[in-house]
C-alpha cells in the first residue's frame, strides 16, 4: 500500500505547482499569442473557404489548374497579329494553339455537368459539346462559302476520332493494362459501326451519281439526293438516341468483369469540382470564345496554305480536327488507362457517329437555309478514304477486346491517311 500512496502524493505535488499563480503569469502572454495566431488562422481558413466555395475556385480549376491552359494566351495573340500583321500562317498556327485548350476545357466542363445529369445524358452531352468546336468552325466556313473546307474538316474529324483517338486510347490502355485482356461492350460498338456504315452509304451515293454522270437533272439531282439523304440520316440519328436513352438503355451498360476491380472503382469515384450553374456558365463562355477564335482561324486557312506551302486539304482533314478533338483525345486515353473501355468507345466512336449522322447532315440543312450549295458529295478520294477507314475500325471492334497492337495498327493507318492528304491536290474544288 505504501508505494501506492507515495505515487499519489507525487502526482499531487506535480499538479499543484502547475496550477500556481507563478506559472499563470507565464501562461497569460503566451495565451494572447495563441489567440492572435488562432484569429489569423481563422481568417485564413475563412478566405480559403471563400475561395473554395466561390467563383474564384471555379476560375482556378477551369482556367489555371490544367497545364494545357498555358496555351490560352495564344488566342488573344492571334487576334492581335491578325490586325497588326498580314502573316496568315502565324495567325492560323496561333489560333489553332489558342483553340486547343478551349476545346479540352469544354470537354472537362461537360464532364462536370455529367455528374448532375446522370451517365447516359452525360455521355450524350460529352459527345455533343465535344463536337461543338467542329460545328462552330463548320458554320463559320459555310458563311464564308468554303464548302470544301467544311466537308474536309468534318471528314477529318471522323477519321481522327476513329483512327488516331481510338488508336492512341487502345495503345495506352494496352500498355497500362498489359497483364490482362481489356474488354468492352461489343453490342454497343457494333451498333455504332452500323451507323457509320450507313453514313458512308449516304455520302457515297451522291459521289457515285456525280462521277458516273447518271443524274436525271445535271447538278440538281445530286443536291436533291444529298438533302433528302441528310434528312433521313437526321431521322436515323434521332431514332438512335431514343434507342440509346429510352428503349434499350441496358445495351449500353458497361461490361462486368466479375467484381475484380471493385476496390479500385470505389477509389476512383469522383465528385464534381464545380457547381451545376458554374458548368452552364462556363459552357456559354467557352463556346463563345471558341466561336470568336474560329472566325479568325477560318479566315487564315487559305493564307496559311500559301505561306506554309501546305495543301488546304491537309490543313482541313488533318490539322483542324486535331484541334477540335483535343477533348476527346485526352478523355479517351485517360479512360482507357483506367480500364474503362466502354467510355472510351463511347467518346471516340460515339463522336464519329455523331459527326457523320448528325453534324454533316445538319450542315447540309444549314447550308440549304443559307443558300449555300453544301451537299454530301465529298469527292471520290475522300469518300474512298472514309469507306476503307470505317471497314478497318469495324473489324477491330467486332470481337469486343482491345490490346496495344490494335491501337498501334490504327495509329499507323492514320499516318497513311495523313500522308495521302499531304500529297493530294483538291482539283474538284477548282472545277466546282
Weakest mean pLDDT among 46-60, 64-78, 146-160, 324-338? 46-60
Percent of the chain's residues with pLDDT above 90: 25
User: Above 50 in pLDDT, residue 12?
Assistant: no
DSSP helix/strand/coil, 157: helix
- Chain-centre distance for alpha carbon 338: 17
Query: Each residue of 268-320: pLDDT tens digit?
Result: 567 888 888 888 888 888 888 888 888 888 888 888 888 888 888 898 898 88
pLDDT for res 166? 92
User: Above 70 in pLDDT, residue 37?
Assistant: no
Weakest mean pLDDT among 99-108, 322-331, 395-404, 413-422? 322-331
User: Above 50 in pLDDT, residue 415?
Assistant: yes
As beta bridge partners, residue 79 has: none
DSSP helix/strand/coil, 149: helix
User: Above 80 in pLDDT, residue 26?
Assistant: no
pLDDT for res 414? 95
Residue listed under C-alpha cell 439531282? 221
User: Above 50 in pLDDT, residue 2?
Assistant: no
User: Above 90 in pLDDT, residue 155?
Assistant: yes
188-200: average pLDDT: 90
Cα Dmax for the chain: 121
269 or 375, greater pLDDT: 375
213/173 Cα distance (integer angstroms): 47
Query: Each residue of 225-266: pLDDT tens digit?
Result: 999 999 999 999 989 888 877 766 666 666 554 444 444 444
114/387 Cα distance (integer angstroms): 33
pLDDT for res 118? 67
Residue listed under C-alpha cell 493530294? 424
Helices 119-130 and 341-354 pack at an angle, to 10 degrees, of 50
User: Which set of grid coordinates corresponds to residue 36?
Assistant: 492572435
What pTM was computed for the model?
0.77
Weakest mean pLDDT among 99-103, 249-253, 389-393? 249-253
pLDDT for res 101? 87
- Give the contacts of 391 (CB within 8 A, at least 6 positions apart): none
90 touches 81 (CB < 8 A): yes
The overall average pLDDT reported for the chain is 79
330 touches 67 (CB < 8 A): no
User: Above 60 in pLDDT, residue 388?
Assistant: yes
Amino acid at each position: 500500500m505504501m508505494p501506492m500512496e507515495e505515487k499519489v502524493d507525487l502526482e499531487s505535488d506535480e499538479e499543484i505547482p502547475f496550477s500556481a499563480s507563478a506559472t499563470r503569469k507565464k501562461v497569460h502572454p503566451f495565451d494572447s499569442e495563441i489567440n492572435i495566431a488562432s484569429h489569423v488562422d481563422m481568417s485564413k481558413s475563412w478566405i480559403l473557404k471563400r475561395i473554395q466555395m466561390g467563383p474564384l475556385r471555379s476560375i482556378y480549376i477551369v482556367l489555371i489548374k490544367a497545364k494545357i491552359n498555358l496555351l490560352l494566351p495564344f488566342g488573344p495573340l492571334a487576334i492581335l497579329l491578325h490586325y497588326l500583321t498580314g502573316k496568315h500562317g502565324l495567325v492560323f498556327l496561333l489560333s489553332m494553339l489558342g483553340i486547343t485548350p478551349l476545346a479540352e476545357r469544354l470537354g472537362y466542363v461537360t464532364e462536370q455537368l455529367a455528374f448532375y445529369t446522370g451517365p447516359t445524358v452525360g455521355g450524350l452531352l460529352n459527345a455533343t459539346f465535344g463536337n461543338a468546336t467542329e460545328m462552330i468552325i463548320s458554320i463559320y466556313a459555310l458563311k464564308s462559302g468554303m464548302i470544301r473546307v467544311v466537308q474536309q474538316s468534318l471528314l477529318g474529324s471522323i477519321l481522327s476520332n476513329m483512327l488516331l483517338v481510338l488508336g492512341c486510347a487502345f495503345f495506352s490502355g494496352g500498355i497500362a493494362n498489359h497483364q490482362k485482356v481489356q474488354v468492352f461492350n461489343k453490342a454497343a460498338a457494333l451498333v455504332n459501326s452500323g451507323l457509320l456504315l450507313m453514313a458512308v452509304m449516304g455520302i457515297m451515293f451522291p459521289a457515285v451519281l456525280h462521277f458516273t454522270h447518271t443524274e436525271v437533272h445535271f447538278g440538281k439531282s445530286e443536291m436533291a439526293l444529298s438533302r433528302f439523304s441528310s434528312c433521313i440520316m437526321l431521322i436515323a440519328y434521332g431514332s438512335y438516341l431514343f434507342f440509346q436513352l429510352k428503349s434499350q438503355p441496358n445495351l449500353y451498360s458497361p461490361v462486368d468483369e466479375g467484381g475484380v476491380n471493385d476496390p479500385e472503382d470505389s477509389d476512383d469515384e469522383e465528385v464534381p469540382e464545380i457547381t451545376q450553374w458554374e458548368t452552364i456558365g462556363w459552357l456559354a463562355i467557352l463556346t463563345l470564345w471558341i466561336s470568336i477564335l474560329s472566325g479568325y482561324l477560318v479566315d487564315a486557312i487559305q493564307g496559311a496554305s500559301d505561306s506554309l506551302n501546305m495543301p488546304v486539304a491537309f490543313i482541313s482533314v488533318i490539322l483542324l480536327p486535331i484541334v477540335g478533338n483535343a477533348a476527346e483525345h485526352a478523355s479517351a486515353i485517360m479512360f482507357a488507362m483506367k480500364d474503362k473501355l466502354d467510355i472510351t468507345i463511347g467518346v471516340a466512336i460515339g463522336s464519329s457517329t455523331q459527326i457523320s449522322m448528325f453534324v454533316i447532315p445538319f450542315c447540309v440543312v444549314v447550308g440549304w437555309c443559307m443558300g449555300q450549295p453544301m451537299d454530301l458529295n465529298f469527292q471520290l478520294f475522300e469518300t474512298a478514304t472514309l469507306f476503307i477507314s470505317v471497314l478497318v475500325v469495324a473489324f477491330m471492334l467486332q470481337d469486343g477486346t482491345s490490346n496495344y497492337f490494335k491501337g498501334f495498327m490504327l495509329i499507323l493507318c492514320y499516318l497513311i491517311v495523313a500522308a495521302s492528304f499531304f500529297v493530294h491536290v483538291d482539283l474538284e474544288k477548282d472545277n466546282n
